[in-house]
Amino acid sequence: MAQYDPQQYMADLRRVTAERTLALGHAPTACVVTFGCQMNARDSEKLKGVLQEAGFADSESEEADVVVFNTCTVRENANMRLYGHLGHMNSMKREHPDKIIILCGCMMQEPDEVEKIRRKYPFVDVVFGTHNLYQFAELLLRRLQSGRRVVEVWEKERGIVEDLPKKREVPWKSGVNIMFGCNNFCSYCIVPYVRGRERSREPEEILDEVRQLAADGVIEVMLLGQNVNSYGKTLERPATFAQLLRRVCRVRGIERVRFMTSHPKDLSEELIEVMAEEEKVCRHLHLPLQSGSSRILKAMNRRYTKEDYLALTERIRRAVPDISLTTDIIVGFPGETEEDFEETLDVVRRVRFDSAFTFLYSPRTGTPAAAMPDQVPAGVAGERFARLLALVQQIGSEESGRDTGRVLPVLVEETDPKMPGRVTGRLSNNVMVHFPGEETLIGTIVPVRLLRSQGFYYIGERA
């Protein structure tokens, strides 16, 4: 693909927006509604950055002149949530015909959903997918100039374009995309079909972005990818994620480095070594388990066994004793028996996760698992889910107070909305802490004595 320059469309978009500003008597407003994961949240920062640079005023209300829905499709209820919003948008569009409604993101990579939008939701103005997000300014400009619907969804990625303006939600921390797409094809997951194959950014591009963020006052970065542990395999000069992580830790001004998501099959001994040695690497690792049954893991195409996972977590805990481990677990995968489920409970008891995101299996059309026999009845899956959730909460509560009495650094993120004179922040292990403090502390790291645990957060005082 020839180098695409998004900026060539920005000047024309700014001019059109300026004309609308004159006609309205104020800057047109724009709202971006985000569904889904951190990758989508990062994409929304780019969407907001384009809108801001074009002259739109930021709005939190869907009554804005332009509303962008950045969609998710990991589970079917995410699709249903979007259609619920569109029902509301239909009535708003009838009252305000000049309102612009835009759909983008993962759900728009599903041909059946795009066709449904074409047929049943004619009031939607612009549709595009994950592979051409960087065309946003061009597509919006085409809609504003022509007055006609614009639908442009690419089946495959055509390169990486990251030179987009971004509007960060907070000034002191930021996500950084290090790669895009996924090659794993877990049998239940739609992501490889909507995000495409793995593509890694060049290390120097990533480091330049991190350095610029540090110069702008960012002190915490999160390195993002569908599977960060496989970073670098598509580069002309291969690099490893561990090597990249160590170099990011060397950037002056950056105090904390997080990353997600990690696939257990690709988590290397080199990465464990870097996590143990680099103080800036946060003591939190999200390591999706999905199931504790080796038989179900094979059906999921996860490419590790129960024993592999347990051995890996043991090595991580030996190297980083104060690590906080969190995970994802799916209940009710096709063919799951009571014995398989008990294997999952066994892993939860042995690893003792600080917390877990637990999900009932949701069939996604187009994935191998959706066509598998022996789909688990909803009632059986629901009963198992309740048992798993109770165990996860019990262990999480027991583990949560282990740092009581210690003095640890806390990155202050906001004032406590429930108690004036108190602020809220996070430990390196991602646990929340409330303590007395002023708004001026937001965005700084301060030492806090952890006085007592309240289950899943601490009450502390400045040390």
389 within 8 A of 358, measured Cβ to Cβ: yes
Element (H, E) at 130: none
pLDDT value at residue 195 = 84
> What values do phi and psi take at 444, rounded to 5?
-120, 160
> What values do phi and psi take at 67, rounded to 5?
-125, 125
127 within 8 A of 152, measured Cβ to Cβ: yes
Return the percentage of the chain with pLDDT > 90, whole number: 81
pLDDT value at residue 122 = 94
347 within 8 A of 332, measured Cβ to Cβ: no
168 within 8 A of 176, measured Cβ to Cβ: no
Tokens of 126: 């612009």
C-alpha closest to that of 409 among 389, 387, 425, 392:
425
Please compute the mean of the pLDDT values over residues 168-188 and round it to a whole number.
Answer: 91
Give the number of other CB atoms < 10 A from CB of residue 291: 25
> What values do phi and psi take at 42, rounded to 5?
-65, -40
Cα(361)–Cα(438) distance, integer angstroms = 44
Please compute the mean of the pLDDT values over residues 437-456 and round it to a whole number.
Answer: 94
User: 114-128, 164-178, 195-209, 417-431 — which is least confidently predicted?
Assistant: 164-178
pLDDT value at residue 1 = 46
pLDDT value at residue 386 = 98
70 within 8 A of 41, measured Cβ to Cβ: no
Cα(447)–Cα(463) distance, integer angstroms = 6
Q: How does pLDDT run across 370-394, given as a tens digit for each residue?
A: 999 999 999 999 999 999 999 999 9
pLDDT value at residue 163 = 64
**Of residues 341 and 80, which shows the higher confidence score?**
341
Strand ranges, E, within 73-172 = 100-105, 126-128, 150-152
Q: What's the chain's length in residues? A: 463
Please compute the mean of the pLDDT values over residues 204-227 and round it to a whole number.
Answer: 96
Q: How does pLDDT run across 255-279, given as a tens digit for each residue?
A: 999 999 999 999 999 999 999 999 9
pLDDT value at residue 190 = 87
Q: Which residues pair with 372 in a beta bridge?
A: none
pLDDT value at residue 37 = 82
Q: Which residues pair with 30 in a beta bridge?
A: 58, 66
What is the amino acid identity at position 148?
R
262 within 8 A of 291, measured Cβ to Cβ: no
Cα(334)–Cα(102) distance, integer angstroms = 36
Cα(113)–Cα(419) distance, integer angstroms = 45
User: Could you say which DSSP state residue 285 is in?
Assistant: E
Cα(113)–Cα(78) distance, integer angstroms = 12
The confidence band for 159, taking pLDDT boundaries of 50, 70 and 90, is low
What is the amino acid identity at position 403?
D
Q: How does pLDDT run across 101-129, given as a tens digit for each residue?
A: 999 999 999 999 999 999 999 999 999 99
C-alpha closest to that of 285 among 297, 300, 271:
271
Cα(105)–Cα(79) distance, integer angstroms = 11
C-alpha closest to that of 225 among 178, 267, 184:
178
C-alpha closest to that of 462 among 452, 450, 453:
450
Cα(307)–Cα(323) distance, integer angstroms = 20
Query: Residue 2 pLDDT > 90, yes or no?
Result: no
Q: 161: alpha, beta or left, given left = phi > 0 and alpha = psi -120 to 50? A: beta
C-alpha closest to that of 198 among 164, 160, 147, 165:
160
pLDDT value at residue 395 = 95
Residue 335, judged by CB atoms within 10 A of its CB (0-12, 13-18, 19+), counts as middle
Query: Residue 299 pLDDT > 60, yes or no?
Result: yes
The confidence band for 78, taking pLDDT boundaries of 50, 70 and 90, is confident
What is the amino acid identity at position 331?
V
Q: How does pLDDT run across 16-66, given as a tens digit for each residue?
A: 999 989 988 899 999 999 998 888 888 999 999 999 999 999 999 999 999
SS3 154: coil
pLDDT value at residue 168 = 78
Spell out the SS3 assignment of 236-282.
Answer: CCCCCHHHHHHHHHCCCCCCEEEEECCCHHHCCHHHHHHHHHCCCEC
Query: Residue 192 pLDDT > 90, yes or no?
Result: no
Give the number of other CB atoms < 10 A from CB of residue 67: 24
Query: Residue 247 pLDDT > 70, yes or no?
Result: yes
Cα(38)–Cα(374) distance, integer angstroms = 33
The confidence band for 160, taking pLDDT boundaries of 50, 70 and 90, is low
C-alpha closest to that of 387 among 350, 346, 353:
346
What is the amino acid identity at position 236?
E
Give the number of other CB atoms < 10 A from CB of residue 180: 21
> What values do phi and psi take at 31, rounded to 5?
-125, 130
pLDDT value at residue 439 = 94
Cα(242)–Cα(279) distance, integer angstroms = 14
CA angle centred on 159, ends 266 and 180, rounded to 5° = 30
Return the percentage of the chain with pLDDT > 70, whole number: 97
Q: What is the rounded average pLDDT for all residues in the chain? A: 93
